[in-house]
Amino acid sequence: MRKPFICANWKMNKTANQAQKLIDELLPLVKNAKCEIAVCPPYTTLWGINDKLSGSNIALGAQNINQNASGAFTGEVSADMLREIGVDYVIIGHSERRQYYNETDETVSAKVKVALANEIKPIICVGESLAQRESDETFAVLDRQVNAALEGIVVEDAESIVFAYEPIWAIGTGKTASAQQANDAIGHIRAIIAAKLSKDAADSIRILYGGSMNEKNVKELMAMEEIDGGLIGSASLNAKQFAELVCY
């Protein structure tokens, strides 16, 4: 049985002080939640938030990781830097990283490997653009992205991996794939994992929906057989709103 997982992606929002205030508001609202919870704030807030999350039911995540251990990579953050702070999860291959910062299937694959090697659980983002969906290329895009992300990964790593299906056309637009569309896409991702690793691995890996899940549609989406949770953007920036999602 896969435990539901709701993960907040704050993107480039919240100063250090604002982030700590949000965590203070959120902690009492979700203390009895039955699902797993993580927050992925900006790098500058990670250290202070980690202290506040100690002993709570909220895990700490980062929004990106560099595939190199160290070196002349100005502006980047390495796995051991994140691990030392206490980061448990890291988002890899988010569509905004792919679109604006030249993330490729190859860099995603490298980052997944370095995260796993450093005992940080990767949340691997995959999904199609509107043009690709309208051209009936959704499954082909998912085939390519999921297979690339899992290249060189062994079955034993499956328990540490999370996928997030994020149709690019439904991120930050207010548009949402129907529950059935999301379920079908996630079911296809699970079939790819089964073929690449094993059926047991596919059955154990949690796959989140990352396309504008909110307090109004969370129950319908979470009722679907294949959807194991959500990667939440704007709705996670308000403690009450995010708590309603977590405690759906």
Q: Which one is catalytic: 103, 128, 166, 226?
A: 166
Q: Map tokens 């999904």 to a residue.
A: 127
Euclidean distance between CA atoms 175 and 71, whole angstroms: 41
Q: Which one is catalytic: 36, 94, 96, 103?
A: 94
Joined tokens for residue 123:
């949340």
Residue ranges of alpha helices (H) inside 86-137 are 95-100, 105-117, 130-134
Euclidean distance between CA atoms 166 and 163, whole angstroms: 10
Q: How far is CA 3 from CA 29, 44, 162, 199, in A?
A: 20, 30, 12, 18
Q: Measured on CA atoms in the order 153, 155, 160, 164, is the torsion positive or negative? A: positive
Joined tokens for residue 66:
């560099």
Q: Are 226 and 202 in contact (CB under 8 A)?
A: no
Euclidean distance between CA atoms 206 and 226, whole angstroms: 9
* Long-range contacts formed by 216-222: CB under 8 A, 24+ apart: 217/176, 217/179, 218/244, 218/245, 218/248, 219/248, 220/179, 221/179, 221/182, 222/4, 222/248
Decide if 94 is catalytic.
Answer: yes
Decide if 166 is catalytic.
Answer: yes
Catalytic site positions: 94, 166
